[in-house]
Chains A and B, each alone.
Chain A
Amino acid sequence: MSDDLSAVIRPIAQAQGLPNAHYTDPDTFAEEREALLFSQWAGLATASDVPEPGDAKPIEFLGTPLLLIRDREGQVRVFHNICRHRGMILVSEPRKIEGAIRCPYHSWCYSTQGKLVATPHVGGPGMNTHDGIDRTTLGLIEVPSHIWRDVVFINMDGTAAPFAEVHADLIARWSDFDTDLHHGGGDSTFTLEVKTNWKLAVENYCESYHLPWVHPGLNSYSRLEDHYNIEAPGLYSGQGSILYRQIRAEDGTVFPDFPGLPEKWQTAAEYVAVYPNVLLGVQKDHAFAIILEPRGIEETAEHIHLYYATPHVDEDLRRANAALWKTVFEEDIFVVEGMQKGRHAPGFDGGRFSPAMDGPTHCFHAWAADRLRARRPMAAE
């Protein structure tokens, strides 16, 4: 199958989009898992998923069983969810770890920091040490992780530069919002199961071109001409609006603003896809994070979380806000599922971009193509 990525990285006016194989072919999916997800800082979950010390949540990420846990000192960590003895799954459902993580098979025990603290009967009945078992070398396998804006980013293969270094540009861009985020709780999180490749969800999110057609309800207060493209090659892309209008209850109630924001954010908002799989939005009175969980080549779960400036906000307004965003994100489903089906048409050549409107999407495609090309033998193209 032809997979010429050189066309993807041309200037946008001449570029083609990623070929169909990148949305339909199992081998390409496996290649992208390594090049675009495991070798980068990918979004896994939120720190709010494990709010208290000892909270543990098993999560499968692209086939790898992981354990998200907040250790006794309050630090969020990610481990391979397996015992170093026989590879048994350690934690099979979300729960509180009161003391140690005990493997349900032979009861090897680990601290919440991942240290192997007990190996019962390893030297024979009632003998709990053996010269051949060095516990200091058999702790849980930890995956490098970093929390930013409550999102737990992980670097599965351990090759990425530190998160703060990789994303210094975006962290600086949004430094005005470097303040406490308060998750809205159970009614401010929802998951959408979508029959699409994860990349199409990124591509749709980061451009504003589709807004007047797919989200006509936004036209009244968020017109296309009020948007601008955001493009940071190799890092992130998205869209901004110069006319953000906050949600308001009939009695005039609004959410409190994040503290200390410069005047420009009174009417501005930005929506950015942090490559590979995290979609973020910032506005003066609330923010959101969407973690795209690739469950298969053509299957993605979108985990949406809404955040506020204070621990408690008006309950009815909070619910209305979640319902509003859910409507918006659901309006996108037919688009990403339709594009996914379209990728099975042999005649589709990756498509052409609007040089004026599709810059953020092309930026993402070029990022993907660059990373794939860097890992391929020269003769492959």
Chain B
Amino acid sequence: MMNADSMTSIVTQLNALTDGLFLLSCFAMVAMRQILACLKIFIIQACLLAVSACLLGYLYATEHLFWVASITVAAKVVIIPWLLRKSISDDVYARREVSQVLNIPTSLLIALGLAIFAFALTSPLLPATAGPAKVNLPVGLAGLFIGAFVIAARREAVPEVIGILAMENGAFLAGISIAPTLSLIAELSAAFDGLVVVLVFGLLTRRIYKHVGTTMVGNLTILRED
């Protein structure tokens, strides 16, 4: 049987590994061309967030983080993807290539720059959050930035919604390391916020698609008066 110390160090490493994969999933979201693949990456990202919350819950011995994990799984792995699939017609998902403002290698390098910026930004804060969760803060912040970049770089409505949700994932990942005993009501309200956002966006996109026949947000720029 392993002693408690080596168990703790393994769980710490696993948490760091989960965070590393989370960072990778943020990059993957920038690189994916298909909308459906974007959605799948988002589901994986939410799963990784839940795993990280569980591992930190074990390390800090708080049940709040397990609640966070279960809320994340329920809202972001099951309900939000289902809502996105239901509210928007299949034609949108069937399209093969999402158009982007920049080509993919350039976008990836910009995302990398954002991640380095996030790491540089949080490095003075790290001594304050010393402990097993010290990877969560920079990775979460990087997720936040890259989510914002996804919103800016994509021209389609659905990936932009996924970008907003990825920002929220990043914020949660950073949050659980700073405030492991946040009250449940805050987590619940944040999760409901996400749900409402998806519902509103989904219905709006559906209406736009019905009236205009496209969900290309990028085309909105040609709507100006001369």
Q: Decide whether A and B assemble into one complex.
A: no
Interface residues of B (CB under 8 A from A): none
Interface residues of A (CB under 8 A from B): none
